[in-house]
């Protein structure tokens, strides 16, 4: 950071993916002081993550250019550690770790656009090096990982399997296959439902063609992975028969889980595992908005529409009719996707007693008791007490045992003590800034 950031703003947007970018653009264009906090080196989130080998796709390029021109102040490499409403200064105080130093922002309103992460389900061998997520593999690919001639097997669930298989194939990988756990009839029905959006259907076909030589199988999943010298042997199953597939990279993930931690730490109410929002993207807390995946997994177009709505309302202006209409239509589409790719029961039976469930603390499945809640798991086994703060195992245990998520307390990311101290100390300084600005 070369110039000092005025730590007070009208609207703080947390998360620099499509939803956060849209919110920051419209709020800044309406004349508000906007700060966008994002933890990656550049904005874009996951789907628009900068690919070092290719130019940004047109939609991403347009929005990123619009963000640069909007006047919003983008702070990259900033991980939000806590957020609270401070009654002393009547502002929200957001504490972030910027690289390795603290950054404290105060804001009148907050738009939470923290996106989603992948859902990982444990199976024997899932902790081996070379077993990656699907979005995870895509992220590493965009960051320059060379997959030329590497044998890649992609498995799990959801629409993300297709574009990542296509990216891998285009990058020269030998894609061995794409294995969707959902049964054929559901995938076919979902594909047919895309016919109302011919452009989406065309895109799906283009992806499929990109890895044309590899099979796309439905009703299959990975039962186990073993290391064999330098590579991985994955056991592919349809529930009846198993067969081994030798690969260099095994990419496995089962859909997306909303990143609701900052919102829940602030105190926002949830519904069905997501942040509860109204048609204006307002959460249960005054002056706190939520847009995109944390308000319900639904993809990039929905994130953009919700970001526009949230940013507009947060800036005190009316959102465009187009954004509102898109939102309604895209929510219906998202619901269809969830039904199509619902997870099958067999996935609950994959982990063996010695299969690690909490990767941070190496807690095996056999140490868990289904009658517990996350709190007991933490107390008796340390599961959820590592640096990922239960993000990985929590989603898995929620599916395996139907556990609710545990409550969230700050810091919502591992942070230096220096950052936690700075957050407390700068509130006194902020009250001086707030009184200057009124």
| Of residues 143 and 366, the one with the C-beta less far from another protein | 143
Give 405's DSSP letter. Answer: P
Which range, of 8-16, 137-145, 287-295, 401-409, touches another protein by CB under 8 A?
A: 137-145
Q: Is residue 146 near another protein by the rule CB under 8 A?
A: yes
SS3 217: strand
Least separation, in Å, of the C-beta of 410 and another protein? Answer: 17
CA gap 317, 258 in Å, rounded: 27
Shortest distance, position 259 Cβ to another protein, whole Å: 8
Count residues near another protein (CB under 8 A). Answer: 39
Q: Does 117 bind another protein (CB under 8 A)?
A: yes
Minimum Å gap between C-beta 347 and another protein is: 17
Choosing from 2, 4, 58, 100, the residue that interacts with another protein (CB under 8 A) is 100
Instruction: Please state the closest distance from residue 239 (CB atom) to another protein, in A.
Output: 26
User: Between residue 294 and residue 323, which ones bind another protein under the rule CB under 8 A?
Assistant: none
Stretch that binds another protein, among 67-75, 129-137, 197-205, 213-221 (CB under 8 A): 129-137
List the interface residues with another protein, window 400-419 (CB under 8 A). 414
Closest CB to another protein among 13 and 393? Answer: 393
Scanning residues 60 to 89, which ones bind another protein (CB under 8 A)? 77, 79
SS3 109: strand
Q: How far apart are CA 296 and CA 173, in angstroms?
A: 33
Judged by CB under 8 A, the residue of 136, 292, 374, 410 near another protein is 136
Return the DSSP state at 409.
-
Q: Closest Cα to residue 63, out of 77, 78, 40, 43? A: 43
Cα-based torsion angle of the residue sequence 205, 212, 137, 17 in order, rounded to the nearest 10 degrees: -10
Q: Which residues contact 157 (CB under 8 A, 6 or more apart)?
A: 180, 181, 182, 253, 254, 255, 341, 343
Q: Quick one: 215 or 366, whose CB is closer to another protein?
A: 366
For residue 41, the minimal CB distance to another protein (Å) is 5
- What's the closest the beta carbon of residue 168 comes to another protein, in angstroms? 13
CA–CA separation, 289 vs 358, rounded Å?
32
Nearer to another protein by Cβ, of 139 and 317: the residue is: 139
3-state SS, residue 429: helix
3-state SS, 312-330, equals: HHHHCCCCCHHHHHHHHHH
Asked if 152 touches another protein (CB under 8 A), the answer is: no
* Parallel/antiparallel/unpaired status of strands 131-132 and 116-118: unpaired
| Strand, coil or helix: 414 | coil
Q: Tell me: does residue 129 bind another protein (CB under 8 A).
A: yes
Three-class secondary structure of residue 182 per DSSP: coil
**At closest approach, how far in Å is the CB of 274 from another protein?**
17
CA quadruple 262, 268, 270, 276: dihedral sign:
negative
CA dihedral (185, 187, 188, 189) in degrees, to 10, reads: 80
Instruction: Tell which positions 330-359 bind another protein, by CB under 8 A.
Output: 359
Q: At closest approach, how far in Å is the CB of 163 from another protein? A: 15
Question: According to the binding rule CB under 8 A, does residue 360 interact with another protein?
Answer: yes
Report residue 326 as tokens.
């898109």
The footprint of another protein (CB under 8 A) covers: 39-41, 46, 52, 77, 79, 100, 117-118, 120, 127, 129-133, 135-146, 359-362, 386-388, 391-392, 414
């Amino acid at each position: 950071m070369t110039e000092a950031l005025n730590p007070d703003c009208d609207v703080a947007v947390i998360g620099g993916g499509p939803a956060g970018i849209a919110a920051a653009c419209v709020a800044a264009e309406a004349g508000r002081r906007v700060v966008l906090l994002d933890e990656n080196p550049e904005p874009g989130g996951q789907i628009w993550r900068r690919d070092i080998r290719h130019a940004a796709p047109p939609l991403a390029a347009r929005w990123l250019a619009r963000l640069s021109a909007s006047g919003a102040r983008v702070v990259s490499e900033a991980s939000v550690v806590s957020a609270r409403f401070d009654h002393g200064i009547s502002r929200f105080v957001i504490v972030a770790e910027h690289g390795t130093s603290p950054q404290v922002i105060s804001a009148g309103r907050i738009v939470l656009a923290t996106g989603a992460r992948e859902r990982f389900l444990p199976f024997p061998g899932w902790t081996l090096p070379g077993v990656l997520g699907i979005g995870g593999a895509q992220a590493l690919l965009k960051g320059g990982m060379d997959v030329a001639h590497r044998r890649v097997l992609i498995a799990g669930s959801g629409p993300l399997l297709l574009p990542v298989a296509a990216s891998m194939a285009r990058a020269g990988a030998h894609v061995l296959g794409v294995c969707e756990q959902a049964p054929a009839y559901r995938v076919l029905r979902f594909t047919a439902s895309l016919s109302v959006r011919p452009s989406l259907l065309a895109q799906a076909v283009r992806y499929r063609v990109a890895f044309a030589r590899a099979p796309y199988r439905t009703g299959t999943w990975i039962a186990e992975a073993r290391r064999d010298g330098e590579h991985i042997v994955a056991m592919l199953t349809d529930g009846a028969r198993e067969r081994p597939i030798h690969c260099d990279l095994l990419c496995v993930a089962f859909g997306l889980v909303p990143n609701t931690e900052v919102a829940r730490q602030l105190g926002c109410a949830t519904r069905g595992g997501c942040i509860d929002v109204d048609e204006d993207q307002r959460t249960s807390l005054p002056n706190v908005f939520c847009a995109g995946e944390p308000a319900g997994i639904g993809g990039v177009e929905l994130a953009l529409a919700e970001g526009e709505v949230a940013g507009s309302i947060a800036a005190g202006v009316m959102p465009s009719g187009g954004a509102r209409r898109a939102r309604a239509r895209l929510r219906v589409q998202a619901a269809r996707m969830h039904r199509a790719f619902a997870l099958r029961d067999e996935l609950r039976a994959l982990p063996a007693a010695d299969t690690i469930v909490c990767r941070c603390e190496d807690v095996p499945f056999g140490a868990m008791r289904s009658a517990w809640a996350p709190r007991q798991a933490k107390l008796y086994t340390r599961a959820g007490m590592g640096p990922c703060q239960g993000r990985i195992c929590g989603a898995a245990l929620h599916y395996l045992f139907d556990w609710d998520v545990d409550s969230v307390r700050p810091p919502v990311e591992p942070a230096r003590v220096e950052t936690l101290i700075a957050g407390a100390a700068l509130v006194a300084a902020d009250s001086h800034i707030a009184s200057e600005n009124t």
